[in-house]
């Protein structure tokens, strides 16, 4: 699939924003895993409440990381229909809530440019995606 020049530039910018979000989501995920292990295993029973809090924050972080990774792979492959399917403001808000400011802001910043990307037309209308 060949994109017009302006769409290639936009896709490059989207790839960068998603990559930055992915990197910081990974760092936060590692921090939540470390926190969970620290509070439950190292400190023991007295800190199990903090371990449960870490676990509650860890689970949505895993989902955000997975979603960001899917978006990164779709952008890297140039699969615009899949990228637009994964694009969502609500996932940006979930990322903002559970994985911190940077991954959430990066997903929200990428939302607008992703919506403006159009697959190369091969006949009438937009191409249907999976």
- pLDDT confidence of residue 1: 53
Contact status, residue 92 vs residue 104, Cβ threshold 8 Å? yes
Q: Which pLDDT does position 125 carry in this prediction?
A: 46
Name residues of the chain where pLDDT drops below 50. Answer: 122-130
Question: In sequence order, which residues have a C-beta less than 8 Å from that of residue 87 and are 6 or more positions away?
Answer: 71, 110, 111, 114, 115
The two three-digit tokens of residue 44, written as one number: 């023991």
User: What's the confidence (pLDDT) of residue 35?
Assistant: 80
Position 129 in a domain: no
Closest by alpha carbon to 91, among 33, 21, 26, 32?
A: 21
Q: Which two tokens stand for residue 76?
A: 């890297």
Question: How many domains is the chain partitioned into structurally?
Answer: 1
Q: What are the start-end ranges of the E strands in 1-130?
A: none
What per-residue confidence (pLDDT) applies to 67? 94
In a domain, 108, yes or no: yes
Instruction: Assess if residue 126 is contained within a domain.
Output: no
Q: What residues make up the domain containing 30?
A: 5-116
Cβ count near 126 (within 10 Å): 11
In a domain, 122, yes or no: no
Asked whether residue 50 is assigned to any structural domain, the reply reads yes
Question: Which pLDDT belongs to residue 124?
Answer: 45
Buried b (16+ CB within 10 A) or exposed e, 90-114: ebbebbbebbbebbbbbbbbbbebb
The answer to whether residue 51 sits within a structural domain is yes
Q: Is residue 128 domain-resident? A: no
Is residue 37 in a domain? yes
pLDDT of residue 49: 75
């Amino acid at each position: 699939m060949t994109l017009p020049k302006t769409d290639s530039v936009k896709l490059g910018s989207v790839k960068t924003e998603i990559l930055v979000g992915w990197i910081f989501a990974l760092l936060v995920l590692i921090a939540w895993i470390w926190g969970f292990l620290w509070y439950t295993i190292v400190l023991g029973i007295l800190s199990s409440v903090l371990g449960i809090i870490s676990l509650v924050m860890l689970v949505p972080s895993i989902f955000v990381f997975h979603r960001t990774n899917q978006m990164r792979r779709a952008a890297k492959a140039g699969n615009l229909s899949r990228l637009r399917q994964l694009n969502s403001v609500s996932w940006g808000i979930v990322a903002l809530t559970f994985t911190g400011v940077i991954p959430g802001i990066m997903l929200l910043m990428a939302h607008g440019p992703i919506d403006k990307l159009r697959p190369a037309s091969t006949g009438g209308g937009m191409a249907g995606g999976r």
